[in-house]
Amino acid sequence: MNENKENYVKKLSFIIDDILANNIEKKCEICGKKERKNKCRICGREVCNDCYNKEKGMCIVCSETLCEICKRRNAVERCQICGKLVCPDCMVRIDKSRVVCRDCYEKLGLDGVRRIIEDKAISENLKMKKFFQEFCEK
């Protein structure tokens, strides 16, 4: 009798798990609260109306991380000069860790871009130095 009861409880908990999983599956993949109504054309997530940008035809996550130059692909990096989010098609890699956008690159040329990035790095280093000096003096 006791064993039967245990089995019954086990079965029931499986059923409950199933129901919960199904419910979660039908909810918006971003907020997890509302019913999915739209499919994002960029990432393919199914999302509710709140999490969907109708004009752009994509979810809010993609619309926020969209390349600011072509506005079609997902951005993966930020331009070191103007700060725009850019996709692989719209960026130019300057070195291992730094990229600039197509616009800045066309405007400034490789030398100009390099100079600005280096100036920035130097001034940031100086800022850090100053910060540490002040920090140590305290």
Applying CB under 5 A, which residues contact Zn ion? 28, 30-31, 34, 40, 42-43, 45, 48, 50-51, 58-59, 62, 67, 69-70, 73, 79, 81-82, 87, 89-90, 101, 104
**Are 102 and 122 in contact, with CB atoms under 8 Å apart?**
no
CB of 78 to Zn ion, least distance (A): 9
CB of 101 to Zn ion, least distance (A): 3
CA atoms within 13 A on the CB side of 136: 6
57 Rama sector, left if φ>0, alpha if ψ -120 to 50, beta otherwise: left
10 vs 37, beta carbon nearer Zn ion:
37
12 vs 78, beta carbon nearer Zn ion:
78
17 vs 106, beta carbon nearer Zn ion:
106
Strands 46-47 and 99-101: unpaired
Q: In terms of C-beta density within 10 A (0-12 exposed, 13-18 middle, 19 or more buried), how is residue 27 classed?
A: middle
**Are 56 and 65 in contact, with CB atoms under 8 Å apart?**
no
CB of 10 to Zn ion, least distance (A): 34
CB of 16 to Zn ion, least distance (A): 24
82 vs 122, beta carbon nearer Zn ion:
82
